[in-house]
Structure 1
Amino acid sequence: MRETLWSAVDQAARLAELISEDPRLKERPLRRDVRSLGRILGDVLKEQEGIVFLAAVEDLRRQAIDHRETSVDLVPHPVTMAKDPLLAQVQQGVHTMSVADAYRMTKAFATYFELTNLAETNHRKRRRRARGVHAGDKPQPGSFQGTLARMAKAGIDATAALAWLQQVEVGPVFTAHPTEVARRTVMAKRERIAEALEALDRLPLPERGAAERQEAIAAEITALWQTDEVRRRQPTVRDEIAMGLDYHRNVMIASLPELYEEMRTAFQTIYGLTLALGDLPTVVRFGSWIGGDRDGNPYVTPEVTQSALDMARRTIRDYYLQAVANLTEHMSPSTRQEPTSPGLIQALEHYALTLTSPDPSPKTHSPYEL
């Protein structure tokens, strides 16, 4: 049984860390997470590769840290760096490794930095949540509300701010040449580690719950160590299309309503202006070259482009079909409890004539579930 590395003894102290502007204090939770993830990774390396390999990783890590700390004032230059004995020691150790050992060493450090990135992302998210606890505090610089506050302070009224917003259009474009080359299974493991880290921030945090999530993280890190990082075959165009649509399905579609709700709330908070979501301009439009970019790839044919469009439409359609299915679980009002508007009844009668319900069971008293 591993030592439990996460605990929540003092909730007030934790919150104070997250909302602090003191660099040493506000980064303390991040350092704890990185240290804990590093210890778990060390345990995994010891279990999977042995104590000798773990010692070699730790030795190289300490040498690199010593080099960084002693070369802060050095001017980065090939000649200067070549004379650095610590760097020369690191290079000598790397050069004497076999290809297999160098691969494992590279993977160990790459895994560590992946875990560090997950911890940093989680830390940014929890600091943002913590700021929301103090509703009376000034808006966070760089946020939409913070930007509107600066505009209002500069004498720009709500009408002008909304007019300027109508001129803004952000157009993220997905390409088939991403900097992220990880396999979907690897990204799924990272996502589960991120979810466990976020769960470890929820208070109260029983020791048993912390231990269970810690074991879940250890299991995912072990699986990462045993998994190929990249495909052993070149991805097809269809693979690339599916990878791009994963971001829409898992991130983009769900984030957009939150973005526009944040805008609406900001106008209400800063200007006292109540807007419907439909009053806001469309400021984000997505594009994609995947499956349609004629850059010399002979496999991007008109048929592939049509398939890319069909897959994108199905992704959006399936997302909203599932959203409607989820909505039916909430829409349970009965006409026995609350009368239904005549307009809804008329619409339902029209749909009954033109559409076939997948659920034939009678629900005459629950019109929203039809």
Structure 2
Amino acid sequence: MGADAERHGAPRIARGGGQLPYHPLVPALLEVRDLTVHYTSGNGAPAVAVDELSLDVEEGEVVGLLGESGCGKTTLLLAILGLLPESAHVVKGSIRFRGRELRTLSGAELRGLRGAEVSIIFQEPALALNPVRRVGPQVAEVVRAHRRWSRRRCREEALSMLAEVGFTAPERVHDSYPHELSGGERQRVVIAQALACRPALILADEPTASLDSTTQAELRALLGALQSRFGLALLLVSHDLGALAALAHRVLVMYAGRLVEAGGPTQVFGDPLHPYSRGLLRALPRAPDPAGSREQRIPPPIPGMSPDPAHLPPGCAFEPRCPDRLPPCVERPPQETRLADGRHVRCFKYGG
């Protein structure tokens, strides 16, 4: 978001308040700059999935990414790892991990990076695991791909990781097939896979979305404990406000491929600035008030529809749905404004 000097100079917000130390001469663990990703639409026109997006993730930092389905969050994660489908391509931008430009790496170099230094946790564990193989060897093969270890040692490491993610009987789980485990257990196995080589950065794409509320809370606590134990950096895509509030140092709000607001979780959730952030937070499900009427218990949707990514408006992408639109909103997209409290917002109400 915005100019590099502003982006790098923005204070990092610590969980529970306060600021984390900022080291201007130390590059961030992950640096994404002006990234633009297009898909080829049915009529051949480019569909903009990620639009000139910039973000940093520091060593050991948890950054939450919030936005409606289809706003480009998953595409961003796939672009970072070089896993975009054939229908998508990076138009421009830079993706640097520990100062190394990932876009110029060969396929072999990217395979060496994935799992060893950067891992991903997908939303649906049933699709992430091979259904005809026992889960233990699937964890062990991640280790074997990056470590010159014996099969026995890789098996021992897989058992150790299964214990780390909360299994009290890791041997039983090791020898189980995915269908013999619950959804929450399968997701724990996927987390064990992601952590098997102790990567510095985890990309998590809605890791608890397909689970019941009790299991979500358990995995939320597990992710927090593992992040602290291993000093992981985490880029967490989630609609789970509880997870973001508990885990994130910073929360980024994304709309139509762009970041529209960034700040600490208490700032973004307690006092959202961008009209989209306010509407999104009102629209997300939350615990009902037993005394309220049925109408009061149903969260109000944001009016209108997300823009067609193949035909984005010339101005602010949120303008057709915005209750606070101003004359400049239809003419050009707003630029990022950095506020005195360290927050960033892309809206003409705050300068633009």
What TM-score results when the alignment is normalised by the length of structure 2? Answer: 0.24
The structure with more helix, counted as a fraction of residues: 1
What TM-score results when the alignment is normalised by the length of structure 1? Answer: 0.23
Higher CA-based Rg? 1
